[in-house]
Amino acid sequence: MKDMDRRDFLKMSTGAATAFVLSVEGAGLFAQFADDVSPVNAAVIGAGRQGRVIMGELNKFPFVTVKAVCDTSEGRLRGAKRRAKGVATYPDFKQMLDTEKEIDAVFVCTPSHLHTDIAVACLAAGKHVYCEAPMATTIDDCRTIAAAAKKASTVFHVGLQYRSNPIYKLAREFMLAGSIRDTVCVRGQFHEKTSWRMPATDPAKDRALNWKLFPDVSIGLLGEEGTHQFDIMGWFLNKLPVSVSGSGSIRLHNDGREMPDTCHCNMIWPGGLNMNYTATLANSHFGRFEEFVGTMGAIRLVGDFGWLFKEADAPTQGWEVYAVRQNLHKDQGITLIADATKLAKQGKLKEGVGLPHPAMYYGLQDFLLSVTGGKPSACPAPLGLRASVIGIKAHEAAMSGKEIVFEKEWFEI
Amino acid sequence: MGTRFEVAIPRSGPPRGGAQEKATLTREEANLLACAEAALDEITFYHRSFNLFRRDSFLSFVNASAADRPVRVDPELFALLETCREIFDRSGGAFDITVGPLMECWGFRDGDGAIPDADALGATRASIGFDHVILDKKNSTVSFDRAGVGLDLGGVAKGFALDQAAEILRDECIPAAIIHGGTSTVVAFGAPPESASWKVGIADPAREGALLAAAYLSESALSVSAQHGRCFEADGALKGHLIDPSSGAPAEGALLAAVIAKQAVLADAWSTALVAAGPGRFQELVAGNDAIDAAILFHGPKGAECLDKAGVDEELFESLTDEN
């Protein structure tokens, strides 16, 4: 589903303009900030891919000004100047904190194993902190961050962005309302054909940029990507997993790396519920998705799209007659549309397919709502700890080939 | 993504024989692959940002919001919009990134076009023109002075993205590479082995399988804008997707324009402008234009074929037709 062509997608959809679908009030599709919202001065630590995306989305919040960017790479700092007007650049985040006293919020987008010191220092400096997920790469580091966040009076938000995604929130409501009835199994995948390697000719630069390939610091595909998706599963199921087993191998990128480019894991959830997950850098087929399969239907989620596939013997709700649908193979899915009721009344239901903003936007929006409006963090540190532990242990299971049973204490601060 | 982008980097050393798929890459090869991926990732980044077919693209956000309030854009996008403004002025309005609503009106957004309803066309034309776009440099914002205005970077986006991708390769000290976006835009630097420059063929729109001309590129870019890609026939004439902003209708007279420039963004914009402006303004727009190294304009249809050449260095184009 990666980069689905929207023209083809819309051509495949049918359905009248008037319809309504379960919609979540406060789904955050068009959250309003107060007219007199206080300005937020921001700093971004880590100007790589994620930092760049975040800076782009922050442009959409007029009350936010990115004042400073930190990165150890001069090239990335030069690039950062193209992302935010008049931004000050620093090679060292401590120097930035000492110099830029007016910073209110910090976005931590460095390699995952470097989050801890930075997040803790920023919290100690009285800053609101948005920290990318996985929160850290060891359970101890996750606990260190969580303890610092608990002590701080500022907002701490982990970048588990799908918890803020209106489509995912809507889908979860469908699931909680029993639309798929009893869960039969859960599936997920992350497929993207790419080497995960950044250009680097000297060893120091190689280690700094290609940290994901170094087993001593990286938690691999299952940690870096799986963390987000396992968190979605735990959120929807409202449970913690029981055990995980897995494997990993190199299927394509035979370039001297040790880190597998393809991993599988099997996670058991309470009640014997089985989750199968594959992550590979060797193939892009169907990209990234999560799927909850139940006795009366299935829900598939693909970033900014979601569908409900109903079983033939599932009861039909009146509104379904007018639902927007799409065919996938031989199944027809009801397209999940955030704010559908409102859009249907305006006769714009089909225009509501997808989301008006990338998934990242909604996570930032929730963070900023907490920073400016005092709302509790939508993704506080305990959630970050929980999600990261699952990813860390899934990676460990795949690398060791041994089944790991989750210990309750791992999830405690 | 409808367009296929490719990066080609000449590799040093003898070619590797045997089954390559399972062979271990050397460090150099792994790094070259990483460079090519980084270049393609850069193109993907801008494609996502400018793609009007994606509801969640940044440009879609600008179009949805800028009539209501100034929208902050990053310095890079602001500079691109300023470049578009300069070319709009220099081309006398032939290159205009506000023509998107007109393209939609003529049915070129989702298909190959059709004659629009006259009232709808008239209403749409009222929102066309870069003069409706307000660029505030101090605040790095863009706004529209009325509803209905929409920015469409289709005339420059590929070129702009290719320029950024080429910069990535140069930053990594790659000595030679060629990057192309489908059959319309190419950027190249250095040269392939045992050559002084990259040679790129331009398809002849009037003769299937034949080449109209060849372009020689080194530290330069080529863009080809042509009407025959998305078009329909009406009243015995070809109506293509490149719109003449002054008439509000598909541009007439020129089937294809190819421009060589130092930057792909300039080649891209000017090839669009030359088709939109038509044969009558070709010499005027190219002569003394510092942005264009060389340009050709192909007139059609059959019976009136002509290939004009102009620019600083016309030798950069080699005509491959019998008539020329």
CATH number for the domain spanning A252: value is 3.30.360.10
In a domain, A360, yes or no: no
The predicted pLDDT at position B149 comes to 96
CA–CA min distance A126, chain B (Å):
28
In a domain, A364, yes or no: no
Q: Maximum distance among all alpha carbons in chain B?
A: 64
The predicted pLDDT at position A272 comes to 97
Q: What is the mean pLDDT of residues B104-115?
A: 89
A311-314 long-range contacts, Cβ below 8 Å, gap at least 24? A314/A181
Identify all chain B residues contacting A253, using CB atoms and an 8 Å cutoff: 25
In a domain, A362, yes or no: no
In a domain, A74, yes or no: yes
Q: Which residue is it, tokens 């948005």?
A: A130
Q: Contact, A142 vs A242, CB < 8 A?
A: no
Q: Are B29 and A255 inside 8 Å of each other by CB?
A: yes
Q: Where are the domains of chain B?
A: 176-319
Q: Which residue is it, tokens 């080497």?
A: A195
Q: Contact, A158 vs A134, CB < 8 A?
A: no
Q: Contact, A40 vs A105, CB < 8 A?
A: yes
Domain boundary among A147, A162, A177: A162
Q: Beta-carbon neighbour count of residue A99 at 10 Å?
A: 11
Q: Beta-carbon neighbour count of residue B233 at 10 Å?
A: 9
The predicted pLDDT at position A7 comes to 35
- On whether both A123 and A188 belong to a single domain, the answer is no
CA–CA min distance A138, chain B (Å):
28
Percent of chain A with pLDDT over 90: 79
Q: What is the mean pLDDT of residues A340-365?
A: 85
CA–CA min distance B215, chain A (Å):
30
Distances (CA, A) of A325 to A16, A213, A306: 10, 41, 11
Distances (CA, A) of B121 to A343, B47, B115, B118, B272: 27, 28, 10, 5, 21
CATH number at residue A143: 3.40.50.720
The domain of A343 spans 6-25+166-355+388-400
Identify all chain A residues contacting B61, using CB atoms and an 8 Å cutoff: 60, 356-357
- On whether both A109 and A247 belong to a single domain, the answer is no
Q: Are A59 and B72 inside 8 Å of each other by CB?
A: yes
Locate A166 and state its tokens. 């209106």
CATH superfamily of B176-319: ApbE-like domains (3.10.520.10)
Mean confidence (pLDDT) of chain B: 89
Is pLDDT at A15 greater than 80 in this prediction? no
Q: What is the mean pLDDT of residues B76-100?
A: 97
Domain boundary among A162, A180, A208: A162
Identify all chain B residues contacting A256, using CB atoms and an 8 Å cutoff: 24-25, 27, 30
The three-state secondary structure class of B264 is helix
- On whether both A259 and A327 belong to a single domain, the answer is yes
Locate A260 and state its tokens. 């597998």
* pLDDT tens-digit map of B144-161: 999 999 999 999 999 999
Q: CA-to-CA distance for B305 and B319, rounded, in angstroms? A: 13
- On whether both A118 and A105 belong to a single domain, the answer is yes
Taking CA–CA distances from A6, the nearest residue in chain B reads B53
The predicted pLDDT at position B322 comes to 56
Give the closest of B34, B55, B74 to A83, CB-based: B74
Identify all chain A residues contacting B60, using CB atoms and an 8 Å cutoff: 356
- On whether both A150 and A178 belong to a single domain, the answer is no
Identify all chain A residues contacting B136, using CB atoms and an 8 Å cutoff: none
Q: Are A199 and B31 inside 8 Å of each other by CB?
A: yes
Q: How many domains does chain A have?
A: 2
Is pLDDT at A23 greater than 70 in this prediction? no
Q: Is A82 on the interface with B (CB under 8 A)?
A: yes
Model-level pTM?
A: 0.92
**Beta strands B294-299 and B185-189, pairing class:** unpaired
Predicted interface score ipTM higher than 0.85? yes
Q: Are B30 and A197 inside 8 Å of each other by CB?
A: yes
